[in-house]
A and B are shown apart, each in its own frame.
Chain A
Amino acid sequence: MQQVASAPPAHPPTHVEEPSTGLNNRKVLMWAFLGSDCMFFGALIVSYLVYRGRWQGHPVPTDVFDIPYTSVSAFALLMSSLAMVLALAAIQRGDIRRLKIWLLTTAGLGLVFIGGQIFEFTTFGHEGLTLGGNTGGTTFFVLTGFHGAHVSLGIAWLLSLFVQAVRGQMAQARSLDVEIAGLYWHFVDIVWIIIFTVVYLIPI
């Protein structure tokens, strides 16, 4: 619990408030948020699935998918998760130098993914898949776009941790800050594991 403040002068109450479960408030909050975000992405993925096989006109997403290309960017995101846990392991050991390296690697791999997505969106647009063209384009762009927004937010979060590490504000005691950012980052990764399979690979 980080929210502790000065005692009121007249009646100084006593007792330290310990969390009932011994867990950290912010970590509980993050897990509650991730449970909630399951429903967010669930609804977006379901919107895609509902129209799958009912697309009208061409091109539809499966006409323009480039599986090898997307496999590479999916792999970049997967490996960013490895870099993320290595960053966590580093700060838990108190190794701030490796923390900086791995945080930057994670954010960098995230940027590779986002760059790949921007290129992919542009290419698909040139090939005629648009937001308003048919339900395939609509559901594809909004689903992957919102995933991309989540990744971008995660990159900003990681970079802010990196800047703090560079300015000497990170210490072993703050490993929880890295762990919570990591939980978010891994969640974004597992959402892409599902999207990659459901949207790109499964051929219905």
Chain B
Amino acid sequence: MATATARAAPRAGILARPVAPMGIWSWLTTIDHKRIGILYELTAFIFFLIGGLEALLMRSQLVQPDNTLLGPGQYNALFTMHGTTMIFLVVMPLSAAFFNYIVPLQIGARDVAFPRLNAFSYWVFLSGGVLMNLGFLIGAVPDMGWFAYSPLTSSQFSPSVGVDFWVVGLQVLGVASLAAAFNFLVTIIQMRAPGLSFMRMPLFTWTTFVTSILIVLAFPVIAVALIELMFDRLFGSTFFNVTPAAAGAAAAGGDPILWQHLFWVFAHPEVYILILPAMGIVSEVVPVFSRKPLFGYPFMVYAVVSIAFLSFTVWAHHMFTTGLSAIAMSFFAASTMLIAVPTGIKIFNWISTLYGGSIALKAPAMFALGFIAMFTIGGLSGVMHASPPVDTQQQDTYFVVAHLHYVLFGGSIFALFAGIYYWWPKITGRLLGDGLGQLQFWLMFIGFNLTFGPMHFLGVDGMPRRVYTYSPGMGWELWNVVATIGAFVIGVSVLVFIFNAFKSLRTGERAGDDPWDGMTLEWTIPSPPPHYNFVEIPTVAGRNPLWLQKHPELAGRHVPGADPIATDTGHSGSEGSGAESHDGHHAVHVPDPSYWPLFAGAGIFVAGFGVLLSAGGNLSLLAVTGVGLFIVIVSIFGWSLEPVNEPVQA
């Protein structure tokens, strides 16, 4: 731990340190967790619009039987990119935006543990998102579904380089997610304010913590699966190839089911990576807007942790129709039913929090309530799939499409909008219009249910998913029209949000530090927060520290007696606004900007691009990948030689 005093920048290193406080370079070289959070938010929202347009195109194609708006190939490309975009480029980075912006504020820190690694995560995420979508420019779009089932992905059946864009893009996105997850894991373990023990952490911080664990353990598996697929396609290995490499050669002997297992070992925890942050946001919003502490806080925490354990034991319920043995099906059916228990506990705890509360139906609360209702429906249709015979009936029908959208749209996206309305004033200093927020909520809620509710019926009526059109007379016409109308209503609701956002930025009501009478540390500091966040690192005396200070009677209701105010330090109720100041060594954890994360991210982009160039068959173009990796290595050296602080031997 250095004891640093103010000193002149720039300092030693290969490049002079960027110093501009504003302007484009200050954003390109920023390592401030708040700015990185905003970059994540904006980038993810642009991808949200792209993914939404892809969905609207698909719904337009399906509005009537035998429609010819899209061909089958275009439709395949659209559902592949819609799924991939919404999962990896929208819900995950929108969650990451809140991890970045909110978690350091909630734990009373001035930044994350590794600020430059954090900037690196963002640039690598952007590289992966661009690489994934580059195929649109040359007309080679991934078109094998977001799950990329083998053997459809083999060179034989997918000769186009579209699959390679998906493989490389996802691999790069995985690097970004892993870097970010390691960072938040260490940040939450290491940088909590004094007194903020694990069982006092806000639920959103808890879900960030557990989500990071899931990313850290699940993404290496998809990394291996993607490496194997890349080797199959580029270098002729036989991980998933069934057919011989050349005429007359022996059968390759690859097993396509191996891909499915590896993919779902990753992708089922991924489902919880998408929903846990949403649950965390709702667990913040519901108590504040019902003016009651979260009901059953310890059980909420245990539920999140047990979901983390169980999520690695359920993957094969996505594969009940692949011919698993009876014992395996029984195991995965039982574990799937078991994981519904902690999920149910959370729903009951939110409802119990609402019960008896004085509920303020502001926009964040509306979206949170919408989440609880829609997620419950999606959760129930999910438990249905735990039963192998039922699942076999519903496999690959629109029923599954309905289920997953109730969980990921009715769940994650509604909760993320709750978070946007809740934390927007903290981020921008201005409130979003509540009237427009209510309008957006109702448009989105009605549009969502019009779109995905009927898909339950379509699925039970046997309409298959991932098929670009259908014949008249199947009884599917009505509900497809309804679903398409609903999709456009959702589109309008998003336009309302964009209007609301611009209006708020120009003329929105000033928020002040604490517009919602919040209970966590981020509401103790100005909106928007100064770049060092906290003038003094707060000392936390219990759960819901700000309520402990403002409304001890509110916070006390469900906080055990063992949590009196400021037992640890004697700074009674002094979080944020307290006047105590430890004299002696003063140092601030506000690191300076750096070019290196940007350069390293660019190097990864070049490396991925090199793989794509060589995917056409010319492996010598892998030299471009070599150049990219060289840029990464140079950047890492520049990174480690650039002092972030004065030498330790002070």
Asked if A and B form a direct contact in the complex, defined as CB atoms under 8 angstroms apart, the reply is yes
Determine if A47 and B6 form an interchain contact, defined as CB atoms under 8 angstroms apart.
no
Q: Is A159 an interface residue (CB 8 A)?
A: no
A135 touches B238 (CB 8 A): yes
The A150-173 residues at the B interface (CB cut-off 8 A) are 171, 173
The answer on a CB contact under 8 Å between B227 and A5 is no
Taken together as a complex, chains A and B put the C-alpha atoms of A39 and B222 apart, in Å, by 10
Q: Given contacts A1-B1, A14-B582, A17-B587, are A134 and B182 in contact (CB under 8 A)?
A: no
CA distance A135 to B252 in the complex (A): 7
Q: Are B582 and A15 in contact (CB under 8 A)?
A: yes
Bound CA span A40–B218, Å: 9
Query: Complex Cα distance A8/B6, Å?
Result: 8
Contact (Cβ within 8 A) A56 B532: no
Given that A4-B589, A14-B586, A138-B231 are contacting pairs, would A21 and B190 also be in contact in the complex, using a CB cutoff of 8 Å? yes
Residue A202 interfacial (CB < 8 Å) = no
Partner of A9 from B4, B6, B219, B582 at Cβ < 8 Å: B6
- A29's partner among B1, B114, B218 (CB-CB below 8 A) is B114
B519 contacts chain A at the CB level, 8 A cutoff = no
Residues of A within 8 A of B532 (CB): 7-8, 11, 13
CB distance from A180 to the nearest CB of B (A): 12
B644 touches A4 (CB 8 A): yes
| B407 part of interface (Cβ distance < 8 Å) | no
Partner of A54 from the list B253, B534, B644 (CB cut-off 8 Å) is B253
- Cα(A124)–Cα(B190), bound, Å: 48
**A112 partner residues in chain B, CB cutoff 8 A:** none
Q: Please tell me which one of the listed residues B115, B218, B645, B649 contacts residue A173 in the complex, with CB atoms under 8 A apart.
A: B649
Contact with A43, one of B109, B220, B590, B592 (Cβ below 8 angstroms) = B220
Q: Which residues of A contact B582 (CB under 8 A)?
A: 14-16
Cβ of B338 within 8 Å of any chain A Cβ, yes or no, is no
- Interface pair A131/B223, CB less than 8 Å apart: no
Q: List the B residue with the shortest CB-CB distance to A4.
A: B645
**Smallest CB separation, B219 vs chain A (Å):** 8
**Main SS at interface, chain B:** loop
In the complex, which residues of chain A have a beta carbon less than 8 angstroms from the beta carbon of B303? none
Contacts of A95 in B (CB 8 A): none
Bound complex: CA of A28 vs CA of B114, how far in Å? 12
Q: Is A142 positioned at the interface, with any CB of B under 8 Å from its CB?
A: yes
A3 near B114 (CB under 8 angstroms)?
A: yes
Q: Could you tell me which residues of chain A, from 27 to 61, have a CB within 8 Å of some CB in chain B?
A: 28-29, 32-33, 35-37, 39-40, 42-44, 47, 50-51, 54-57
**Measured between alpha carbons, how far is A103 from B532 in the docked complex, in Å?**
40
Q: Which of A29, A36, A134, A141 contacts B220 (CB 8 A)?
A: A36
A19 within 8 Å of B (CB atoms): yes
A5:B4 contact, CB within 8 angstroms:
yes
Check B645 against A56 for contact (C-beta < 8 Å).
no
- Chain A min CB distance to B29 (Å): 14
Which residues from chain B contact A36 at a C-beta distance below 8 Å?
178, 182, 216-217, 219-220
Contact assessment for B7 and A6 in the assembled complex, using a CB-CB cutoff below 8 Å? yes
Option from B3, B189, B238 in Cβ contact (under 8 Å) with A16: B3
Q: Taking the nearest CB of chain A, how far is it from the CB of B418, in angstroms?
A: 29
**With an 8 A cutoff between CB atoms, is B531 at the interface?**
yes
B191 surroundings in chain A (CB, below 8 A)? 17, 19-20
Query: A144 near B: Cβ within 8 Å?
Result: no
B237–A131 CB distance below 8 A: yes
A25 interface neighbour in B113, B220, B245, Cβ under 8 Å: B113
Question: Across the two chains, which residue of chain A brings its CB closest to B17?
Answer: A5
CB distance from A27 to the nearest CB of B (A): 10
Q: Does B270 contact A (CB under 8 A)?
A: no
Q: Is the CB of B588 within 8 A of A50?
A: no
Task: Verify B196–A2 contact, CB threshold 8 A.
Answer: no
Interface string of B346-369 (1 = CB under 8 A from A): 000000000000000000000000
Known A8-B532, A39-B217, A142-B227; judge A32-B182 contact (CB<8 A): yes
Interface check B327, CB cutoff 8 A: no
Verify A20–B190 contact, CB threshold 8 A. Answer: yes
A selection of 24 A-B contacts at a CB cut-off of 8 Å is A1-B190, A4-B588, A4-B645, A5-B644, A8-B530, A13-B110, A13-B535, A15-B581, A16-B582, A17-B191, A17-B587, A17-B589, A19-B191, A29-B186, A35-B217, A40-B221, A40-B224, A47-B262, A56-B252, A133-B238, A134-B250, A135-B239, A135-B253, A138-B238
Which A residues lie at the B interface, using CB under 8 A? 1-9, 11-21, 23, 25, 28-29, 32-33, 35-37, 39-40, 42-44, 47, 50-51, 54-57, 131-135, 137-139, 141-142, 146, 171, 173-174
Assuming A8-B590, A13-B588, what are 14 further A-B pairs, CB within 8 angstroms? A4-B589, A4-B645, A5-B591, A16-B586, A17-B109, A28-B185, A40-B224, A47-B228, A51-B255, A56-B250, A57-B253, A132-B245, A137-B237, A173-B649
